[in-house]
Amino acid sequence: MPRHNPALHRVHKAPMTPTRLRLLIVGAILLLVALGWALVIVLKPAIQRTIVITTGADNGIYRGFADRYAPLLKREGITLDIRSSSGSTENYQRLNNPDSEYEVGFIQSGTTNPSETDHLQTIAAVSYEPIWVFYRGDTDINRLAQLRGKRIAIGVPGSGLLTVSRILLTHSGVNSDNTTLLEMDANKAYQGLEGGQLDAAFFIGRPDAPMQQTLLNSDLKLMNFAQADALVQKFPSLSKIVFPRASTSIVNDLPQTDVTLLAATALLVSKDTLHPALAYLLLEAANTVHGGEDYFTPHGAFPNLKTDEFPISDESMRYFKSGRPFLQRYLPFWLASFIERRLLILLPFMALLLGLLQALPRMVEARMKKRLVVWYREIKSLEDEIWENRQPNAAQVAQWRDEIEEIDAHASQIRIPQRYFQDVYALKQAIRVVRDRISHTAEKVRD
Alpha helices in 196-332 (DSSP H): 210-216, 228-234, 276-290, 314-322, 326-330
- Phi and psi at residue 399, in whole multiples of 5°? -65, -40
pTM of the model: 0.66
Mean pLDDT of 141-165: 95
Mean pLDDT of 294-318: 89
Q: What is the C-alpha separation between 84 and 392, in angstroms, rounded? A: 101
CA distances in angstroms from 184 to 132, 158, 162, 193, 276, listed in the order given: 15, 11, 9, 12, 39
Q: Name the residue among 156, 199, 192, 209 with its Cα closest to residue 174.
A: 199
Please name the fold of domain 50-324. Answer: D-Maltodextrin-Binding Protein; domain 2 (3.40.190)
Per-residue model confidence (pLDDT) at position 283: 94
Sketch the domain layout of the chain as residue ranges.
18-38+344-446, 50-324
359's CB contacts (< 8 A; 6+ apart) are: none
User: 61-76 pLDDT, tens per residue?
Assistant: 899 999 999 999 999 8
Per-residue model confidence (pLDDT) at position 417: 72
What is the Cβ-side half-sphere exposure of residue 176, based on CA atoms within 13 angstroms?
6
Mean pLDDT of 277-301: 89
Question: Which of 84-88, 240-244, 354-358 has the least mean pLDDT?
Answer: 354-358
Is the bond preceding residue 157 a cis peptide, omega within 30 degrees?
Answer: no
User: 248-257 pLDDT, tens per residue?
Assistant: 999 999 999 9
Q: Identify which has the larger pLDDT, 429 or 142.
A: 142
